[in-house]
A and B are shown apart, each in its own frame.
Chain A
Amino acid sequence: MYKKRMKKTMFQSMIRIGLALAAVLAVVEVEPVSAHHSFAAEFDASKTVTLSGAVTKVEWANPHIWVYLDVKDERGGVQPWQCEGGPPNTLTRNGWSPNSLKVGDTITIDGALAKDGSKTCNARTVKLADGRSVFAGSSGGDNPPPPKP
């Protein structure tokens, strides 16, 4: 009984390791992001931001997708933010679609702030509440590539 369970456990471990490997390989070497314009023309890579909130709108259009979200501030108020992502063409080839992110989804964006001080960011990663990453691909052409989802 114990041996049988051990065999089963080892087999399950192998499957798990295999699936983990597959997951890693699935996210390596994704297509590079676009640089419709110089990143430095609009954003400051040194001013990073993490935003959590509910999606209010997604614009799936060139030259970049835009994700809008309501973010709660320290006083309990809601602040509307907008974040730029990669171009739809590249995101489509990387497996995303306009339905990958829906209105009402709670997300966390890691990105860089716009230079003009507005509530605007360049999204490097977008994570859903369940931990999955979507739209991982900013337009930060001159900067290090975004972290893998």
Chain B
Amino acid sequence: MTRLILGGLIAVVALAVGLPAVATAQRGYQPPGGPTPRTASGKVDLSGVWAKPYVPDMTKDGKDQKGAPVLPFTPWGEAEWKKYDPAQGDYTGSCLPFGMTRSVNTPEPMQIMQSDTYFAFLFEQNSWFAVVPIDGRPHRQGIPTWFGDSVGHWEGDTLVIDTVNFNGKTRLDTIGHPHSDQLHLVQRFSRPDLGHISYEITVEDPKTFTKPFTNSRTFTLRPDWEMMEYSCEENNKSLWEGRIKVPKP
């Protein structure tokens, strides 16, 4: 009987030792613990490689994601949403830039690099990036772009990134919720501990929505991951062979 109990204990211990390795290789993953890291100047340091929840539809909840269940469309926004048909051309299928929200929504990781002057989004999806001045300067008055123009400032320990001047050619998410060139995003980043970022994004667009709406997410630190190259054009067979249509301007 003693041997039986001993055998059982050995099996349990073996599993306890072996399982974390197996699970960690997948996603039953726990990030390292510890206090919120800070830069030499005392700001919260948001740097790291981060796993983000995949959010193909910003109205839906999911693991580490709280969506906005009802989007407050204007008549123009409602019409844009109803007429959207990805089979008639999805700009991301042509490897055009996803834009800010859709890049943050991807399941691919994102690296954040930060100094006192800049915050950089390094998206693995299609190897895109967006560099954000966080030293208090105002928005630039440039040509509208896919990712818009971002500036950031600190509100206590929260970094607030404000983005405007979008070209209006993107969609908010994979399912295709619309926005216009009047899109205004406010992204709020805080780091309650070493292993997590609390992220909130507020979407405002008076042409498309009657009032702002928000998604809240948790990002998880992955020090075991390194960013990998992602060339969208390399083998985009579906476009070349005509199964994906090129969107009309």
Q: What is the interface of chain A, defined by CB distance below 8 A to chain B? A: 7, 10-11, 14-15, 18, 21-22, 25-38, 40-42, 59, 61-64, 66, 82, 84, 87, 89-90, 92-95, 114-116, 118, 120, 141-142
B210 to chain A, nearest CB (A): 26
Give the distance in Å from the alpha carbon of A31 to the alpha carbon of B52 in the complex.
10
With A35-B107, A95-B25 known as contacts, the answer to whether A142 contacts B92 (CB < 8 A) is no
For A62, A93, A118, the residue with the greatest tally of chain B CB atoms inside 10 Å of its CB is A62
Is there contact, CB below 8 Å, between B11 and A61? Answer: no
Is there contact, CB below 8 Å, between B25 and A116? Answer: no
With A11-B4, A22-B15, A94-B26 known as contacts, the answer to whether A37 contacts B87 (CB < 8 A) is no
- Summed over the interface, the residue pairs from A and B with CB atoms below 8 Å come to a total of 144
Q: Which residue of B lies closest to A4 (CB)?
A: B3
Q: 6 tightest CB-CB pairs across the interface, nearest first?
A: A37-B93, A38-B86, A61-B235, A29-B27, A41-B86, A32-B107
Is there contact, CB below 8 Å, between B231 and A142? Answer: no
For B8, B235, B245, the residue with the greatest tally of chain A CB atoms inside 10 Å of its CB is B235
Residues of A within 8 A of B56 (CB): 35, 141-142
A100 to chain B, nearest CB (A): 14
Is there contact, CB below 8 Å, between B7 and A90? Answer: no
A sample of 14 cross-chain residue pairs with beta-carbon separation below 8 angstroms, ordered by A number, consists of A18-B14, A25-B19, A25-B28, A32-B54, A37-B92, A38-B90, A42-B87, A42-B243, A62-B234, A66-B235, A89-B230, A116-B243, A141-B54, A142-B175
Contact for B235 among A63, A94, A115, A142, CB less than 8 A: A63
Residues of B within 8 A of A30 (CB): 26-27
Q: Which residue of B lies closest to A92 (CB)?
A: B228
Q: What is the interface of chain B, defined by CB distance below 8 A to chain A? A: 3-4, 7-8, 11-12, 14-15, 18-19, 22-23, 25-28, 51, 53-54, 56-57, 86-87, 89-90, 92-93, 95, 106-108, 124-126, 174-176, 225, 228-232, 234-238, 241-245
Is there contact, CB below 8 Å, between A26 and B22? Answer: yes
Give the distance in Å from the alpha carbon of A61 to the alpha carbon of B238 in the complex.
13
With A7-B7, A29-B27 known as contacts, the answer to whether A63 contacts B107 (CB < 8 A) is no
Residues of A within 8 A of B106 (CB): 34-35
Residues of A within 8 A of B175 (CB): 38, 142
Is there contact, CB below 8 Å, between A31 and B228? Answer: no
A23 to chain B, nearest CB (A): 9
Residues of B within 8 A of A142 (CB): 56-57, 174-175
With A41-B86, A89-B108, A142-B174 known as contacts, the answer to whether A84 contacts B238 (CB < 8 A) is yes
Is there contact, CB below 8 Å, between B95 and A114? Answer: no
Contact for B28 among A29, A84, A93, CB less than 8 A: A29
